[in-house]
């Protein structure tokens, strides 16, 4: 699989070190609030798993599956719910956990939905953000890393469902998606 990767952009140690820092920050901000932490499947699953272990306060977790990319490298612009939350968000302090904010359409859709469902507060924690392709302006409260306008995979991020299991963030070789 490594042969499909042009370059490792963020290695395992750097990723984990940054997640330690985010955990400390989030712990401080949510002390005593019992936040509902929402993982946006599938991309955010590895980040979520590592992040919550570093948040040292009472919390609850829920999962939502959203898809806009399918097997393409470009967003379809159509956001679909594949699996909804199990918990009510009414009056809850919500922290949305994402792997990447690219066009921002996925996040804008989720934030809008949670607002309509009367969440008490909504914050966003994203591991990566790619400012180059932003369409919807969304406020991100915790950001791991800013990434360049390249197709990145690994640590949850896929291309056609593959590469999610890489422990690092890598740039995919163009020849993999240009065939």
Q: Which entry of Mg ion, Mn ion, ligand PRP, none binds 68, CB below 5 to 8 A by partner kind?
A: ligand PRP
User: Which is catalytic among the residues 50, 99, 102, 158?
Assistant: 102
Binding mask 134-163 toward Mg ion (x if CB under 5 A, else -) reads ------------------------x-----
What residues numbered 25-44 form the site for Mn ion, per CB under 5 A? 43
What residues numbered 58-87 form the site for Mg ion, per CB under 5 A? 69
CA 144 to chain centre: 10
CB 39 within 8 A of CB 61: yes
> Would you call 99 a catalytic residue per the annotation?
no
CB 133 within 8 A of CB 102: yes
φ/ψ of 37, rounded to 5, equals -95, 120
What residues numbered 96-135 form the site for ligand PRP, per CB under 6 A? 98-106
What residues numbered 24-63 form the site for ligand PRP, per CB under 6 A? 40-43
Comparing every residue's Cβ against Mn ion, the nearest one is 43
CA atoms of 12 and 152, how far apart (whole Å): 15
CA dihedral for 168, 171, 175, 179, sign (positive or negative): positive
Closest CA relative to residue 7, chosen from 179, 166, 178? 166
Token pair belonging to 44:
């955010």
Task: Return the bridge partners of 142, or none.
Answer: 125
Q: Which entry of ligand PRP, Mg ion, Mn ion, none binds 50, CB below 5 to 8 A by partner kind?
A: none
Hunting for tokens 């991309």 — which residue is that?
Answer: 43
- Nearest distance, CB of residue 17 and Mg ion, angstroms: 25
CB 106 within 8 A of CB 98: yes
- Nearest distance, CB of residue 65 and Mn ion, angstroms: 8
Q: Which entry of ligand PRP, Mn ion, Mg ion, none binds 75, CB below 5 to 8 A by partner kind?
A: ligand PRP
Where does this chain bind Mn ion (CB under 5 A)?
A: 43
Where does this chain bind ligand PRP (CB under 6 A)?
A: 40-43, 67-69, 75, 98-106, 158
Give the active site residues.
102
């Amino acid at each position: 699989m490594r042969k499909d990767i042009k370059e490792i952009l963020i290695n395992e140690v750097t990723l984990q070190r940054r997640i330690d820092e985010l955990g400390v920050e989030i712990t401080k901000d949510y002390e005593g609030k019992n936040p509902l932490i929402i993982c946006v499947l599938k991309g955010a699953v590895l980040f979520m798993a590592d992040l919550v272990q570093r948040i040292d306060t009472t919390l609850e977790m829920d999962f939502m599956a959203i898809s806009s990319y399918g097997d393409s490298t470009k967003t379809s612009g159509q956001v679909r719910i594949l699996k909804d939350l199990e918990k009510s968000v009414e009056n809850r302090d919500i922290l949305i956990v994402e792997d990447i904010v690219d066009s921002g359409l996925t996040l804008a859709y989720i934030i809008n939905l949670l607002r309509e469902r009367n969440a008490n507060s909504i914050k966003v924690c994203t591991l990566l953000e790619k400012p180059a392709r932003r369409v919807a302006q969304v406020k991100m409260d915790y950001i791991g890393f800013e990434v360049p306008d390249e197709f990145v995979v690994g640590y949850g991020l896929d291309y056609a469902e593959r590469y999610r299991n890489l422990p690092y963030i890598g740039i995919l070789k163009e020849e993999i998606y240009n065939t």
